[in-house]
Amino acid sequence: MASLKVGINGFGRIGRTLFRQALDRSDVTVVAINDLGNNPANLHYMLRYDSIHGRLKHRVELREHAAADKDWTVTEIHVNDLPVKVFSEDRLENVPWNELDVDIVIDATGNGRNLAHARAVLGESVKRVVFTNSPNAHVDFTFVFDVNDDAFDPDRHRVVAASICDAVGLAPIISRVHRRYGISGGFITTLHPWLGYQNLLDGKPSSTEFKERPDIYEASTYQVMGRSSVGTLIPKSTSAVAAIEHLIPAIKGRLRGMSFRVPTDVVASGVAMLELAEPTTTEEVREFLRTTVRPPYSSYTEEPLISVDYKHSEESCVVDGKWVEVVNGRMLRVVTWYDNEWGYSARVLDVVQRLFESDQVGTA
């Protein structure tokens, strides 16, 4: 089978993690990146050195040379002597993905405008565009392994979303529980590490999303996200429930959720309190989850671990079996752990590979 060529749009936390993981996979090659930073030297530096994931264990060089018969300079990051073109375009469709023979473009920017213009990227080379969020519009399908991967239709689904880390970290288990016992209602609480746009000291919220779409957040969330992220737990609304219900329409309207932004660098946790339609016991649910998880998309452990122990875990989610408990036969608590950068990025690349394989079969 041919080698998959990927372009990454947005070279932030997820973009760089995708790049790092692709370097250790034989089935994916990154050939181009685009980032608004317009500072290739800094992109090169941030790729080589990462405070969470460590120093990159590959030879990396930044090179520039004059384009043939052109009056501009070509910038490339060479990893083990393989060139990766670097661009700084503010529009997804302005990057010459097709000229570079890119098969699939991954948009890791979170920019809503790119969603609206994704189809302009599709062409002779680019067959699919994948977004690392959970939009309701402009995508053909939201793809999460161990939840709805069997519903993917390669003939219809060209612009695809890989959902968000919280949904990928909870939906596989919620879906499995609903299929077995039925879910009448419940609450979801996520504990999510801080993000780069949070403030060190109290001030105005700095997230681009808050600036562009303040209407989609409660006023209280907008306010608390301007508070200091150091040494505090910040309660806020969450998009996790909407993302999970989008993946599992049968439980739409039955869940409520909130999140705490916590002062840790990586690894999130999800706590689901679920009212079951069928009665069960703690022992029965533990055995059901232990024997039906589907590595690497979901796994199960009863080891006494803490968040840092799940760092660089490539599973979508890990059920913490010692905290699985049933009260009065129908109230179930499930706790999951997930590396919101590493595990999530592993699934994005798996989605990309699945899409590519479907295109190869279609052209064979």
185/325 same-domain check: yes
User: Is 353 within the bounds of a domain?
Assistant: no
56/126 same-domain check: yes
Nearest to 251 by CA among 355, 163, 358, 171: 171
User: Is 116 within the bounds of a domain?
Assistant: yes
The span from the CA of 208 to the CA of 63, in Å, is 31
38/107 same-domain check: yes
Residue 136: predicted pLDDT: 81
User: Is 157 within the bounds of a domain?
Assistant: no
199/112 same-domain check: no
126/248 same-domain check: no
User: Is 312 within the bounds of a domain?
Assistant: yes
Total structural domains within the chain:
2
Eight-class DSSP state of 41? H
244/316 same-domain check: yes
According to DSSP, the β-strands at 28-34 and 60-66 are unpaired
Would you call 29 exposed, middle or buried from its count of C-beta atoms within 10 A (0-12, 13-18, 19+)?
A: middle
Active-site residue, from 18, 46, 129, 165: 165
Classify 81 in phi/psi space as left (phi over 0), alpha (psi -120 to 50) or beta.
left
Q: ω before 296 within 30° of 0 (cis)?
A: yes
Q: In which domain, by residue range, is 109 found?
A: 4-132
Residues lower than pLDDT 50 in the chain: 364
- Half-sphere exposure (CA, 13 Å, Cβ side) for 124? 5
326/187 same-domain check: yes
104/176 same-domain check: no
User: Is 156 within the bounds of a domain?
Assistant: no
User: Is 121 within the bounds of a domain?
Assistant: yes
Contact 343, 146 (CB under 8 A): no
Backbone angles phi, psi at 258, to 5 degrees: -155, 170
- The residue out of 89, 115, 132 marking a domain boundary is 132
Token digits of residue 292: 């039906």
213/290 same-domain check: yes
116/171 same-domain check: no
Would you call 158 exposed, middle or buried from its count of C-beta atoms within 10 A (0-12, 13-18, 19+)?
A: middle
208/256 same-domain check: yes
What average pLDDT does the chain have? 93
Contact 232, 207 (CB under 8 A): no
Instruction: Quote the distance between the C-alpha of residue 112 and its chain's center.
Output: 16
317 catalytic, yes or no?
no
User: Is 68 within the bounds of a domain?
Assistant: yes
Residue 169: predicted pLDDT: 98
The span from the CA of 326 to the CA of 274, in Å, is 9
User: Is 87 within the bounds of a domain?
Assistant: yes
